[in-house]
Each structure stands twice: as structure tokens, then as C-alpha cells.
Structure 1
Amino acid sequence: MRPLLFAIALAAALPCARAGVTENLATSAIAMSLGNAVTADPPGIESIHFNPAGLARLKGFNHVDTAFVASIRNPNEFHSAPDIDIGGFKDDPINGKHSGPVRQAIALPFVGVPKARLPGVAVPGLGVAWNAPDSRWTFGTMVYLSQAMSMDRTKDPDDPARFDGRLVQLQRLVYLSPAAGYKISDTLRVGISVPIAYSNFAINTDYRAPNKLLGTVGQLQKGLCPDGNGTILDTLTFGLCGGGPDGMVDPFKRAANIDFDLHASFDPTVNIGVLWEPRPWLALGAVYQGGTRTAYSGNYSFHTDPMLRAFTRGLNSSLLGPVVGAVTGLPPDIPEYQTGNMMASIPFPWRVQAGVKIKPLPFLQLNADVSYADWAQWKEITFRFDRSIKMLELARLFGYADSTKATFQMGFRSVVNFGFGAQLFVTPKLTLRAGFEPRKSSIPGDKMSLLAPLPDTRLHSLGLRYRFDNGSELNLAASYLTGKYNIPARSDCNLNCDGFFNVIYNPYAATDVAGKLVVRYAGLSFTRPF
């Protein structure tokens, strides 16, 4: 039990470096080296995740230790459109800038995301399985990360990408996965597992609102009070300059910082698999991995910068400003900090995967899989707060009536993906592997954001297996995933539209955003019988 608890703690503390919407990237060294095309050839104890029916192929008592290392890079470039005009403001300071280094965050169960940042991470895990002599049943459990994404841009405080996620962390750690495989016949096996996960969801982002109405207000201020100081006339009317120099509105300035940290301690799903091996050279497999609607709870913090606080204070200190505020629903005052409790219901999508294994030659095996994940459930994500958020009350003017919640339009879609793998049996002890996955993104091009910058990608993998005389097995794998995106100005209203009502959320209004995603990772597993 001590090694098991130790692995659980480390796996939670050092999550895999993955960005965007990802599945199966670092669950098994065997699977990653074969392009995750292993449904018809499940990888031993790791079958608990990929196809629990594969457990029924094991004999005796087995143990597997796994480890993965990974790093991610996500450079971005920002270029303003030639006709950019945000209510009269035309010089965005991020124009021509590049985003800085990306690091990986750490999510600890019951703690959240501490401040330590790493250029890469290591992910350990383990599993056990046992089969009694002459029994058709095999039982097992495993600790692993079924899914994660991690984007941390806090190293550079002026990183232009900070306005769409300084920190984004989504982690699903399976800490217990009771599983059973049953051998119906020599050719047919079935299995089931119940992964029980600790889930963590955290976002920290700087906020700005390059909106035309705010720009127009800023230009009016420049005309009425160029130095930022109000006048008697201003005080007797609407108080546009009553906030002093701090209250001068600039749509390109940071307006606030938002921090969410949520978790769910007990989040079970179910995996059901079948494996049919009618011939030594042919096998077919299928698995259903159930989803859930995870109920998260946690805390929030809104830190509002002086610009909005001073502007609101000046507006309400004038003669007619409070009338305007009452009509438009603006708050009478905005505190610098507002904290409290929050909750969210975030889907973890179900997915199905099917595959075939053929062995056309004694020394060659080919695998192919097809999968479907129901990411269309991520149309939007709503966060609910325990009270009205004063800063969000400013959005009432744009039609956002409920300031006790914030909704992010995600617009994800469900897609079909394929995976391919090959094994070359060089000797009875040595096997070489290669895998390829052309991964179609679940995020449409007009819904992309830097919160989840995952375009269509290509995953290339290499690996090997070495069998020892005592029956132990060492598996090594290395993978490289890459993809590019180029989002023209005004083409993506999750990122760079500049319409009057595009407030939540277009931080790069009228700006071209181009970038790429590069993930490098390697893994190993060591399996031994007892």
C-alpha cells in the first residue's frame, strides 16, 4: 500500500503536460508508441483504460510501474488589422508582439494549483492485476491520468497571451479503477472497469475589454479632460472625468485579473470492452468509455484594477451619473477584491473506440483504430458565484443580465479520429514499434482561443519492448505532437471580434493571431510477474 499511496500523490502532484482537448496521450508507453491503436491488442494491465477485456489475457499476479516526462511550447504572434478602430483607439500595445515561454502547472488533490512552475513534468503511475489458477476471471486496478491540459504563461508578466489564460489547468487523475476481465472462450473476452477520479479545473487570466463603447468613452474623456482631472461642468453632469487620471478608460489596458480554482474529489465513470481473437493473426476490439457531468466546487477571486474602480466612483459622484448607472444597471462601486465560493457543472465526454489487429507476416503486426468523443457537450461552460460580482455588473449594458454567473462560449464539436500502429518482432526478446495519429481538433477554427489552443495536430511516435528471461518487460516510447493555427482578425468571436456586443470574450479585437502547439513527451513502463 505504501508504494501505491506514494504513486497516487506523485501522479496528482506532477500532471502531464497537455494542451487543449486530449485523450490517451500519456496513459501507456505501449499505447503511445502505437498511435494509441491498441483496442484490439490491449496493453496488459493498462487494458483497464484502453479495453478492460484485455485483462482476461493475463495469468497470475502482475505489476506495472509507469513514468512519463513531457514539455509543451505554444508560441503566438499578434498583429493588428490595418483598419483597427476600437472607438477611436487604434494603437494596440500588443501589436507585433510574441508570447513568451509556456510552463506547466501542478494540481494537488485537496490543495489546488500551487505557485511552482516547471519547464516540463514527470508523471508516475502503477497498476496491479491478478488471476487465480484456472480461473476465467482477472481483476486489477491502476493509477493514471486519463486526461489533462496545462498552460502556464505566468513567467513573463507582460506576455500578450496573458489576456486569454495566464494559467489553464484541467486534470483528471484516476486514483482507483477496480476492473474485471472475463474469458468467455479461447477467442472471446469481455471486461469492465470503474475509474474513480479526482478532477481539477483552474483558470487564472488577466482581463481586458477592447470594446467600441469603452473606446468611445475613453475618447470623450480625452476631449473633456485631457489631463484626467474633472471640471465643475463634468461634476454637474455625468462625471466622466470624476475618477481622475486613474479613471481614464483605455480599452487596451488590463481591467482586472480573474482566478478560479475548482475540484471534484469523487468522480466515477465506467469502461466496458470486448475483445474477439478468432485467428492468431486477427483480432477485433471495442470499448465504451463512459462520461459524466462533473460537479465542481471551489473558490474565486476578482481583482479589479484602478481604471474601472475609479471610473465607476467618478460616475457616481456626479449629479447625473447615478441616474445613468441606475438606468443601465451599473454598480455604484467596485471593490478592489471580491472573493467567495463558486461551482460549475462541466461535462467529461463519453467516447467509443474500435480497432483491428492483423499479423500479415510472423514478424510484422499492424494495428488500426477509430474513435469518437462527444466533445459537443462543451458548447459552453458556466461558472456560478455565491453573490453578484460587481465587475460583471458592468456587462449589463451589453445584455448580460445575471452577474452571479459567467459563461464562456466554447463551441466544441464531436469528431472522428484514427490511429495507426506497427510492430516489428526483431527477435523473441526485442520488438520495435511506430505509431501515427492525425488528430482532428474538437475545436472549430472560429471557436479557437488561447485557453485551449489545440488545432488539428499530427502525433508521431516510436518505441520498443524488451523481454527479460524472468518474464519481465520494459517498454519505452517517445512522441512528438505538433499543429499550427492562423486566425485572421474578426474571424473568431472567442478571440478577436470587435463588434459592439463582443465583450465576453474577445481580448484581441481586430487582431490576427497565429501560433503553433508543440508537445514532446516520452514514457516507459516496467511490467513484472510475481
Structure 2
Amino acid sequence: MNAAPSPIVLLAAAGLAMALAPVAHAGVTDNLVTSPTAMAMGNAVTADPPGIESIHFNPAGLARLEGTHHIDSVFVATIRNPNRFVSAPDLDIGGFKDDPINGKSSGPVRQALYIPFYGVPKARLPGVLVPSMGMSYNAPGSRWTFGTNVYLAAAMSIDRTKDPDDPARFDGRLVQLQRLVYLSPAAAYKVSDTLKIGISVPIAYSAFAINTDFRAPNKLLGTVGQLQKAVCPDGNGTVIDTLTFGLCGGGPEGMVNPFKRAANIDFDLRASFDPTVNIGVLWEPKKWFALGLVYQGGARTTYTGSYTFHSDPMLRSFVRGLNSSLLGPIVGAVTGMPQDIPEYQSGNMTAQIPFPWRVQAGMKLMLTDYVQVNADVSYADWSQWNELTFQFDRSVKLLEMARLFGYANSSQATFKMGFRSVVNYSFGTQLNLTKKLALRFGYEPRKSSIPGNQMSLLAPLPDTKLRSVGLRYRFDDGGELNLTGSYMKGTYDIPARSDCNLNCDNFFNLIYNPYAATNVSGSLIVKYAGASYTRPF
């Protein structure tokens, strides 16, 4: 008697898990668009903080500035995420063996920018262009320096909506994650000629928006689809079916296909006031040697926003047919299923999502008057993302159907994330060609906080390698121009059935696996160019 409601239960739990799980940028996107100067040095600048941008990297560096300074920055970045899908030779989803995405590749990716208090605009671009600015003030003869800066601390933008048939759309048509620091009051104190300390309070507008199609290629769902074909090959119900469980009561639209789109979901969450704290120390005992240390505090941020579930006819018609039969409503009542599935269900939601703390230490070493090398090591506490809980303003119909599998509270969802804390290294080299001109080179191998067996295309963040090149030019009036270009790439190859956030095909698997029994391979490529101009005034 339980066969009929089971696929709908699966669709419910799978779709919601898929929608909520990917909110992490997981460390790989940190500092990508924060500072052209730091990027050129592989972000290894804790012991050599870059002027006003020290507010983020090590606020103690502000104490090296004298007088009043202003910085204007601009960057352009593109993110590409090509993927290829190849079904396993023994693919069998309850009798369905031909996945239409087999052998296909994902299409073009575009970028967007989350505008505070507005959301994601409809315009999509091949890349994103973002300006920023900051200033510092040091009174003549004072040991104190104050400043503030506007910058993107972290960002991730993937838009796959250009191709309506993109096979990657089942794991994120649009993923927009962003942490914009719009105010960062900072103060630094020059304890002595060799020791400086500083503190800043970055206040961010944090947001993420997710829109995605979902399907449920699960063996249980496929089995019910095959049963429907046997009972009613043309999709029309019979008297016997009406007097039993109503498998075909939904008509041709209610015929279940595990490879078919079941719904679309849209989430928009944000936190308009999200403060943290940075505390830094800079020790420069020699002109050729320096050590730096910074602690970037975390926060347990409360996000608020809205959700919309749009159920396709297949899902709605199947449930309608079930409840129009003689025995179907009895089964539904016993299992706690809803009487119908609305085409749209919208409401408000909240979530407490921790922003992990991190600590970074660095060393600067002048090998000669012309060659400087920097090296940093950092640790980020992403293990706080072991699980996340989301609260809805009402009972979600899809979660009501999941009661059969132990989901007692249909207005709340908790998901196991399993993220790990990581230690990363970064390196930079500066060649002082003249007193005015310097060349910079950076290298940063970034370890992902997402284990390889829990990655999804909603957060396609593998281990990556960042390589940068840049230059600094100092003008006679005290102005300084910094230019940077960088390239980051990471690849992944996820064998079929190895990642139960992506491609498992277990019979009772409730975690979203839109590419069941499918090999998924791809790469994440980020290209970046930035410029900043600092001047005294």
C-alpha cells in the first residue's frame, strides 16, 4: 500500500535538500575580488599589508600610512563552469535506462551582481564589473591612523539561464553568493617604529540567491513510473485503478518519469547588517624582515528572505490522481501526505548561518634590495558548517510528504553539510625594477572546504590554483597605481555513485542526486583583472 506515495515523498525531500544545501562559498571564493595589490601577491600580504586595503588583510598596516589617503579600485571578473555528463553503462533507474542528458555538456555561464535592498537584476553579463573605494586619516605627529573601505570580501556568481536545456540546470540555474563590506571603521596604533597593532569592524551586506530546476532520478520513483506504464500504457486511469490507489488518476500529465523536471525553486536570502572584527599585529624589526598576524572573526548571522516552489504538472497531477481514488486518501492520511500540491507555494524563511573565523600569519623577506618574497599560512574554521537549519513561515507541502521518512517538522529543515576546516598557503614575489616600478607575481593553491564526496554543481568548488601577475607604479605626486591580472582553475571528476549530493542511485536515497549513476566532470575557471589608484590629499 505504500508504493504510491513514496515517489512524491522522495521528490519533496530531494528538492528541498538540493535547494538549501549549497549556500557555502567554502573558502575558495574568499579574497578573489578584494584587492588588486593583494591578488598580485597571491594574497600573501599579512606581513606587508597594502595601504588602506590593510583594513581587511591586517589592520595594523594602516599605521604605516601618514597623512590622508584615498583609494579607488575597480575589478572585472568572469567565472566559467563547464561540465560533462556521461551515464554509467549499467544505468537503471527503476527500469528507466536512457537519461536524455547522457553525453551532453553544460552551456554558457554568465555573471550577475546582487544589488543590496534590490536583489539580482535581470541583466546578465559575460563578466562582472565592480568599483570600490576607501580612505585613511593620520593627523600630523599622531601615532593613530583611522580609515574605512568598501570591498567584496567574497563572491560567487553562476548563471546558466541562457540555455533553457542546459543539463546543469538541475543543480543550479542561478547561484549568486556575495559578502559586500559597505563600511569598515578601522583604527591602527604605532606602538613603536617596529611594532604596530590595528582593529577593524567590517560591516557587510551578505546575500545569496538560488534558482534551480530539479528532478528526482531515483529507483523508487522509476519503479512507480514503470508500474504506471503497466497499468495504464496510455496514461488514462481505469475503473479498477480508481477503486484502488489511483496510480493513473492524474492522466497523461501525471505519468512519472524520473528524468523529467518536477519543479523549480527560487530562494532569496540576505542579511543587511552583518558585522565581524579583524585584529592585526605587524612587527618589522628590520627593513628586510617582517612578521604579520591577523584574526578575522566570525559571526552567526541570521538571514531572512523568501522562497517560491513551482511544481510542474507531473507532480501535481500524480497527487491529485492518488487522492481521487478510493484507497489513495487512506494511504495519504496514514503517511501524513497533503491532499494536494499547489502549483506555487511562497513564503518567508530564516536561517542562522555561521560565518567562520579565520587566522592568517605571514612573513616578508627582502632577499636583496630588488627582490622581496612573501609567504602566508591561514586556517579557516569551516567545520562550523557541519549542519545547517532553515526555518519556514509555514508548513511546506513537500516536507509534509516526507513525514513517511521521519521528517516530523514540515516547517523546518536541517541538513548535514560535513564541511571541513582547512589550512592554506600563499606566496608572492615582488621585483623592484626601479624606485617607481615594481613587478609582482603570486601563487595560491587553495584547498576546498567541501569534501570531494559532497560537492555539487550548486557549489562547484574543488581544489584550485591561483596564479597572478601585477605591477606597481609610483608617481612623483605620491600617487600609486596597481594593476593585476590573475587566473584560477580547478578540475573535478566525480565517478557515478560516489557523491550522494550529486550522483548516487540508492533505492531509498533521499538526498538530492539529479545525476544518478552519471559521471560528472568539469572545471571552475576564474579570470580576474583589477586596478587601484591611491593618492594623498
**Given the two structures, how large is their TM-score scaled by the length of structure 2?**
0.94
Residue in 1 aligned with 2:422? Answer: 415
Equivalent in 161, 164, 178 of residue 171 of structure 2 = 164
Question: Cα gap change, 1:396/1:105 in structure 2, threshold over 3 Å: closer, same or farther?
Answer: farther
Cα RMSD for the two superposed structures: 1.2
Asked if 1:45 corresponds to 2:45, the answer is no
1:208 is matched with 215
Give 1:69's match in structure 2, choosing from 68, 72, 76.
Answer: 76
1:452 corresponds in structure 2 to 459
The residue type paired with residue 359 of structure 1 is M
Structure 2: distance between partners of 1:451 and 1:207: 12
The answer on whether the counterparts of 1:398 and 1:501 sit within 8 Å (CA) in structure 2 is no
Task: Give, in angstroms, the shift of residue 345 of structure 1.
Answer: 1.1
Q: Which residue matches 2:226?
A: 219
Contact 1:21/1:149 (8 A) holds in 2? no
- How far 1:382 moved relative to its partner? 2.8
2:330 matches 1:330: no
Alignment of 1:15-414 (within 5 A): 21-414=28-421
Post-superposition CA distance 1:200-219 (Å, at most 9, x none): 11111111111111111111
Equivalent residues, number: 513
Q: Which amino acid in the other structure matches residue 140 of structure 1?
A: G
Range moving further from structure 2, 322-331 or 377-386: 377-386
**How big is each residue's C-alpha offset from its partner over 1:482-514, in whole Å with a ceiling of 9 and x where there is no partner?**
010000011001111111232231111111100
Looking at structure 2, the residues matched to 501 and 21 of structure 1 have their Cα atoms a distance apart, in angstroms, of: 33
* Displacement after TM superposition at 1:381 (Å): 2.9
Question: Deviations along 1:383-419, whole A, 9 cap, x unmatched?
Answer: 2211111133333333333321344443221110000
| Letter paired with 2:291 | L
Provide the secondary structure at the position in 1 that maps to 2:522.
Answer: strand
In the other structure, the counterpart of 2:482 is 475
Using the alignment, how far apart are the partners of 1:145 and 1:78 within structure 2?
33
> Whole-Å Cα distance in 1 between the matches of residues 347 and 28 of structure 2?
29
The 3 A distance-change label for structure 1 pair 286 and 56 is: same
CA apart distance, 1:20: 7.2
Q: Which residue is 1:431 aligned to?
A: 438
Secondary structure of 2:69 counterpart: strand
**Which is worse superposed, 460-469 or 498-507?**
498-507
- SS of aligned partner of 2:113: coil
In structure 1, what residue type is equivalent to 2:177? Answer: L
Structure 1 residues 34 and 411, CA gap change in structure 2 (3 angstroms): same
TM-score, scaled to structure 1: 0.95
Identity of aligned residues (%): 78
Deviations 1:283-334, CA, capped at 9 Å, x for gaps: 0000000011110101110000000100000000000001111122221100
CA shift, 1:350, in A, is 0.7
Residues 220 and 508 in structure 2, CA contact (< 8 A), matched pair in contact too: no
More displaced, 37-46 or 152-161? 152-161
2:333 partner letter: A
- What is the CA deviation profile of residues 48-103 of structure 1, one whole-angstrom value per residue up to 9, with x for unaligned ones? 00000000000000000000001011000011111111111111111111011111
Which amino acid in the other structure matches residue 527 of structure 1?
A: T
**Quick check: 1:526 aligned with 2:520?**
no
User: Helix, strand or coil: the match of 2:347?
Assistant: strand
Query: Partner of 2:510 in structure 1?
Result: 503
Residue 23 of structure 1 and its aligned partner are, at CA, apart by: 1.2
CA deviations on 1:169-224 (whole Å, 9 max, x unpaired) are 11111000000000000000000000011111111111111111111111110000
Stretches of structure 1 that go unaligned for 5 or more consecutive residues are: 1-17
SS of the residue corresponding to residue 453 of structure 2 reads coil
- 1:465 CA drift (Å): 0.3
